[in-house]
Amino acid sequence: MSKNWFEDYQQQWLDTWKNSFDSIKDLSNTSEAMTKALDFQQETVNGTLKIQQEALETIATVQKQWWDSYFDWAKQIPLVTNK
């Protein structure tokens, strides 16, 4: 997960959050305000799920690399046999 992606997502999130308050100021259009609030919530959930997915993929990749390295190392150890 790149740092730039996270910063871009964070900026988008803040912009959407600010815009949702602009529509709430005008209570004459509560339908639009509710739609924007729901859109904001949906974007937040989707962004959170994407971050979780990338974090889990990174963890799985690191674990696979660790285990591959372990087995490569273990295969290089000479076996001791009793004669």
pLDDT category at 70 given cuts 50, 70, 90 is: very high
pLDDT over 70 for what percent of the chain?
78
Q: CA 16, 52, 4 angle in degrees (round to 5)?
A: 60
- Tell me the pLDDT tens digit for each residue of 35-54: 888 888 898 899 889 889 99
pLDDT over 90 for what percent of the chain?
30
pTM strictly above 0.75: no
pLDDT category at 13 given cuts 50, 70, 90 is: confident
- Following CA atoms 50, 51, 56, 58 in sequence, which dihedral angle do they give, to the nearest 10 degrees? 110
Rounded-to-integer distance, Cα 53 and Cα 1, Å? 10
53 neighbors 19 (Cβ within 8 angstroms): no
Residue whose C-alpha is closest to residue 24's, from 11, 35, 10, 14: 35
Rounded-to-integer distance, Cα 28 and Cα 47, Å? 30
